[in-house]
Amino acid sequence: MNHTHRAIVRAAGTLSVAPRPTVAPGPGELSIAPLFAGLCGTDLQMLRGLRDDPAPVIGHEGIARVVAAGAGVAASLAPGTLVAVNPTHPGDPGFLLGHNVDGLLQERTLLPAAAVHGGLVLTLPATTDVTLAPLLEPLAVVWYALGELAAFAPATVLVVGDGIVGHLAVRAAHRRLGEDVRIALVHHTEPGRAFSAERAYDAELMLAGPVRPALAGPVVALLATPRDATVAALELALSAGAEVVDIVGGLPPGAATPLRPGVDRAPARAANCGGVPSPARITTAGGVRLFGHRGVANRHLLAAAAELARDPGRYRDLITHETDLDGAARVMRALAGSRERTVDGRRLIKLSVRIAGED
């Protein structure tokens, strides 16, 4: 008997909910049922044609339950186990969940043996609040970034970008860096600034432009922008006096800025993958220390899971929209054709997708 499951599939320049074959796991493989998954900024870049990642099914943020395990899989990953998947393999570029391997926006996801034996499937406590699943991976990214920035004993953290990573950074900064650190959040639009002004955990709010505030030093910057906006964000951070810059959102190859001419920023990010090396490798260019990272280590995901369990109310309101697979496909089609972030009359920060993946 042929079995299928529902998935949001990219094909022929559009996306829709369509059946996909449900494949039983082979030796070393794992079949999981995603419960809740999120839509990430890199997912939007793929939908808008800014990235050429080939996976028909995207999505790398979420929590799932093991459905079936192939021969040789550890007993700790038995069916019924609640898990998260680290989407980035530090040593195998062939596994990047939701980018070159089918992701979580479907009722079943088959994880290859390289990911399973590579330790990228993490067990979670049975008491985990799975409705917070879309925040787990981006909070892990923030936890990683702030942990690296802590080494420079900053007095001010300048966060550029008011998407999910930027907002999570504002919420987590005092947890990682201490209550005395000043936090400034730079927005690109007035509606974004207005959204932040209504939040319980706000920062000093700014609009993008020639930002030259009187920031107490040392100043570090976390750039949480799409990679096509990162050069402008970097120039803004440098003009504000940032001495250390974490390029979270990435850069196109060969990217440079007139403020530091002749220096390619992309290698600074490529030097760190999946939490390796630790501490992160840092590049010094024109007197400014730069770094970035692709993915996180398991320790960052587990720390983020613990933080969400410890204080869920600190982060929950950043999930601004929740829907099912069909509703997510509608939202994704709208976002693919526009840079606007207003969906159903409300500003979108994080979309949560409920997936009916359990029998």
Q: What is the pLDDT of residues 298-348, one digit of tens each?
A: 999 999 999 999 999 999 999 999 999 999 999 999 999 888 889 999 999
Residue 208 lies in a domain: yes
Same domain for 334 and 187? no
Same domain for 237 and 184? yes
Same domain for 61 and 101? yes
The yes-or-no verdict on residue 80 having pLDDT over 70 is: yes
CA separation, residue 340 to residues 19, 68, 334, 335, 347 (Å) = 30, 40, 9, 7, 9
**For position 150, which CATH number holds?**
3.40.50.720
Residue 242 lies in a domain: yes
Domain that holds residue 88: 4-128+315-354
How far, in Å, CA of 211 to CA of 122, rounded? Answer: 41
Same domain for 124 and 207? no
Per residue in 46-78, pLDDT (tens digit) is 998 888 899 999 999 999 999 999 999 999 999
| Count of domains observed in the chain | 2
Q: How many residues does the chain have?
A: 359
Residue 309 lies in a domain: no
Specify whether the CB–CB gap between 63 and 133 falls below 8 A: yes
Same domain for 220 and 93? no
**For position 69, which CATH number holds?**
3.90.180.10
3-state helix, strand, coil in the chain (%, to 5): 30, 30, 40
pLDDT band at 195 (very low <50, low <70, confident <90, very high): very high
Same domain for 221 and 278? yes
Same domain for 140 and 123? no
